[in-house]
Amino acid sequence: MRLLFVGDVVGRSGRAAVVQHAPVLRSRWKLDFIIVNGENAAGGFGVTESILEEFFAAGVDAVTLGNHAFDQREALVFIERQPRLIRPANYPPGTPGRGAAIVRNAAGARLLIVNVLGRVFMEALDDPFAALDRELAACPLGDGCDAAVVDAHAEATSEKWALGHFVDGRASLVVGTHTHVPSADHRILSRGTGFVTDVGMTGDYDSVIGMDKEEPLRRFTRRIPSGRFEPATGPATLCAVAVELTREGLTKAIAPVRIGGLLAAAAPVFWT
């Protein structure tokens, strides 16, 4: 099985990169699933239903979220009717939406996707380890699903590493999101789970983590907000991680993907 996980999509330029490249990459690399973290897709804050439909029309199979899951108030309503939109599983009971979902492709392969939100340097939600343990136990790899991907949306690298080791051998892939900077530590853990600390941002890197530079610079230098954060609108770099799985649903090969924009290009050699 072949998976592509696309990192935090920021604003219009990030969305355009997904819409442009997703169908091409699916065809070129014969991808079974494409997953996108879309929690910054709507002007940098949350996602709208029309943006989701745009992603799905481009061939995206599922969209994960994070700490900006409900920044767009309409998300409180449409998340209930979008089974392929996944918010963090460790939100309190009663929160709209779902923290895990099984997505099937045309061949009938079953992919479990679980989203959790870290607690270090972030808002204090329920325990992400307990939530992840619960979701993986309810749908074991090789039994309830053919592959399992975890979006670990967290600030601290230590917490992401711990989450990866915690589910090593029980998930196909653990992808760190949120910090918007692609890390160079993609690897296969000792029991076969693919891991990367942060997949990176899909957006304009001539920015401050995707936002136009002026307002963040004013806030850093003067400590006084003088306007809204607005996404940078230059050409985006699509950042992703490509994974080839074994028949058992564990990682056989993993590699970074970077296309367009300012960062050096990268692609999986095992698919070219």
Q: What is the CATH number of the domain that holds 225?
A: 3.60.21.10
Per the structure, the complete domain to which residue 258 belongs is given by 2-271
Residue 196 to residue 175: CA distance in whole angstroms: 5
pLDDT at 208: 97
Enumerate residue ranges in the chain where pLDDT < 50: none
Q: What is the pTM of this model?
A: 0.97
| Strand-pair category, 147-153 with 173-177 | parallel
Sign (positive or negative) of CA dihedral 134, 150, 83, 75: positive
pLDDT at 272: 72
Domain count across the chain: 1
pLDDT at 212: 96
Active site residues: 68
Residue pLDDT, tens place only, 13-34: 999 999 999 999 999 999 999 9
**Per this entry, what is the length of the chain?**
272
pLDDT at 124: 85
One-character DSSP codes across 180-209: -S--S--EE-TTS-EEES----BB-SSSBT
For residue 216, what are its two tokens?
């963040």
